[in-house]
Structure 1
Amino acid sequence: MFPRKQQTRLTPEQALQKIRHYCAYQERAHQETKEKLYGMGLSKKDVETLLAQLIEEDYLNESRFATQFAGGHFRLKKWGRQKIVYELKQKRVSDYNIKAALKEIPEEDYRQTLRKLAETRWKALRGEQYLVRQSKTTTYLLAKGYESALVQKAVAACRAAGKE
């Protein structure tokens, strides 16, 4: 029906300017930057050269990306460690950088956030039967990426406190 828009292939110099802006705007994973460069119609050799140059110029830094990703998703989306690890692995971040990023999340803040989420969810399910309430709160916290043992403790604390 509609003619397909012909994708213009960029020269490596043009692509470098665009990708510098792309990386300067927000921290990026190596993988998503690589995919973006391939999307610009560059050859494998050009992509590898540009990636090396971006790393050298400090536009790309995997450890900085992992730390900002983990901290941001914990603070803003209230994600647990398991979900953060999963998402970072999807972005092909190294295990070393994932571990380092998780160490940046203070343990006390982590537990306090989990407690608050559990209490809020427990209160929201006030009209539900006890077992349904417990199950839904547990499922919600596990889906957020919190560890099973910590979730059980948080739900037990809500139950014991009789949070209504």
Structure 2
Amino acid sequence: MSISEIKRKLADYCVYQDRSHWEVEQKMKSYGYLNEEERGEIIIWLIQNNFLNEERFACSYARGKFYQKNWGKIKIKMGLKQKKIPEKLVEKGLQEIKEEDYLEVLNLLAKKKWEILPREASVFNKRKKLSMYLSQKGYESFLVYEVINTFYEN
């Protein structure tokens, strides 16, 4: 495969969905051997033609994972770090989440989960399961406990 074909394929890959540099490098590896100079040339071309932008990626990743999958900031942050996004851009991505939306979604998730937990279970067990669920979604423990104690005191 020629360099121009690889550029076209990677451009399509980036157009379909925002990608991190790390994801693009992994995709390049699947196309076979490219030397470091060729990989660098392709990355620069993708950046110059606005196919690849890590800031845009971090922001869209954070927005998508929160607004579509209801992930908490901890889980989003871990996901961005797994994709080798610099800390500065991770923080910028997390700023895309409005605080009032964040708390509203957390409360909504807690309410929905509480309602589907078995009625015969003890309050202690229901709170424990709710806490585990919200923690697995990536919400901060202090917020989880605050929500559980605020809405489910009886």
TM-score of the two chains, using structure 2 as the length reference:
0.95
Once the two structures are superposed, residues 115-142 of structure 1 have per-residue CA deviations (whole angstroms, 9 ceiling, x without a partner) of 0111111111133111110100000000
The aligned counterpart of 1:128 is: 121
For structure 2, the 5+ residue unaligned runs are none
| Cα distance in 1 for residues equivalent to 2:91 and 2:126 | 34
Counterpart-to-counterpart distance in 2, 1:85 and 1:33: 20
Q: Does 1:39 align with 2:3?
A: no
> Any runs of at least 4 consecutive aligned residues in structure 1 with deviations exceeding 2 A, and if so which?
none
The one-letter code of the counterpart of 2:123 is: Y
Deviates more, 1:41-50 or 1:113-122: 41-50
| Alpha-carbon RMSD | 1.0
Give the letter for the 1:148 counterpart. Answer: S
Contact 1:23 1:60 in 2 (8 A): yes
What is the CA-CA distance between 1:24 and the residue it aligns to? 1.0
Residue 56 of structure 1 is matched in structure 2 by 48
**Residue of structure 1 aligned with 2:61, choices 62, 69, 75:** 69
Percent sequence identity over aligned pairs: 36
Matches of 1:127 and 1:140 in 2, distance apart? 19
Corresponding residue of 1:115: 107
Matches within 5 A, 1:91-106: 91-106=83-98
Structure 1 residue 104: Cα displacement = 1.2
Unaligned runs of 5+ in 1: 1-9
* CA distance, structure 2, for counterparts of residue 13 and residue 106 of structure 1: 41
Match of residue 82 from structure 1: 74
TM-score by length of 1: 0.90
